[in-house]
Amino acid sequence: MSDFTSNFWSLFVAGITVISIIACLLLLWFSGKAKAMTASDNTTGHVWDGDLREMNNPLPRWWVWLFVFTIIFAFAYLALYPGLGTYAGKLAWTSTGQHQAEVDKGNAEIAPLFAKFAAMKPEDMAKDPQAMAIGERLYMNNCAQCHASDARGSKGFPNLTDGDWLHGGTPEKIKETLTKGRIGNMPPMGAAVGSADDVKNVAQYVLSLSGSPHDSLQAALGKSKFGVCAACHGVGGQGNQALGAPNLTDDTWLHGYGAPAIVAMINSGKVNQMPAQGEKLTEAQIHVLASYVWGFSNKGSAAQ
């Protein structure tokens, strides 16, 4: 691993770059000094097609100086911009810095447009056609990849239209989720529950909590073992939004429905991540986007 953390490769690349440019300059100099064997008529003796003779004329001056200019330009470029290993260049230019500058410029240009929405309540903003048009674009560009264009999600990606929220569905909570992101962690609990039969019994009990088809005998046996799950999901399985623990009583299954899926979840656990958007979107953009997302599960309130 030391080969990847030392400065060797940085110095190696920088050295090869400088040597290559100097080599081009030396090649130009030597080619101008070298004398080819010529005949009295200033030809090299090479003849093609019977009468096409190679002359020994020097390179045109304009061509030579153009070549010299490219070499000077190369050294100037490497002095100003990064190109010599880890050397940052006098201008300290980076592609990420340029991207951020362009993003900041764009945000500054659209800031007046978002300013009118800053003081609006989510309920009012959800009724504003312009705000919702902007929210739709923000959603499509940043959220639809996981939650789908209709916001109904898919396996492992929450449905935003059903009113079932892991961390809370208020505009403030949605804004918090968008800004900071979320990491959901269901640890493997098979060993804590007990034997393989105990895990299957708990799975049947979990199904019974939502009124799903289940084996009542196994569910009764699994009720006492559910205690290790109650620490997060609650004694009655209603979940805990402070922890992001799902409500097991509402018949909403994020990672798959049925006993096999529940057994797999108990034995293997699951880690889910909602990436933070706070560094990508401005506070005003998140305010509009949160209102747009809130409107998915509050169509009645948004329409009034």
Taking only the tens place, the pLDDT of each residue in 208-230 is 999 999 999 999 999 999 999 99
Residue 5 has pLDDT above 90, yes or no: no
Question: For the whole model, what pTM was predicted?
Answer: 0.72
Listed in sequence order, the residues at least 6 apart from 57 whose beta carbon sits closer than 8 Å to its beta carbon are 42
Q: What's the CA gap between 51 and 67, in Å, rounded?
A: 32
Longest dimension (CA), the chain: 112
The per-residue pLDDT for range 149-166, each reduced to its tens digit, is 999 999 999 999 998 999
Fold assignment, 102-181+275-303: Cytochrome Bc1 Complex; Chain D, domain 2 (1.10.760)
Region 87-97: mean pLDDT is: 90
Scanning the structure block, which residue is given the tokens 């979107």? 281
Rounded to 5 degrees, what are φ and ψ at 153?
Answer: 65, -160
- What burial class does residue 25 get, using C-beta atoms within 10 Å of its C-beta: 0-12 exposed, 13-18 middle, 19+ buried? middle
Q: Which fold has domain 185-274?
A: Cytochrome Bc1 Complex; Chain D, domain 2 (1.10.760)
What tokens does 99 get? 């991207």
- From the CA atom positions of the chain, what is the Rg in Å? 34
Fold matches, 102-181+275-303 and 185-274? yes
pLDDT of residue 11 exceeding 60, the answer is yes
Res 19: pLDDT: 93
Domain range summary for the chain, segments of one domain joined by + = 2-80, 102-181+275-303, 185-274
Owner of token pair 């045109």:
60
Structure tokens at 223: 């009720």
The Cα-based distances of 151 to 125, 161, 173, 187, 266 in angstroms read 19, 6, 17, 27, 28
CB atoms within 10 A of CB 194: 16
Q: Say if residue 304's pLDDT is above 60.
A: no
Q: How confident is the model at residue 233 (pLDDT cuts 50, 70, 90)?
A: very high
pLDDT band at 6 (very low <50, low <70, confident <90, very high): confident
Q: How large is the angle between the packed helices 95-115 and 283-296, nearest 10 degrees? A: 60
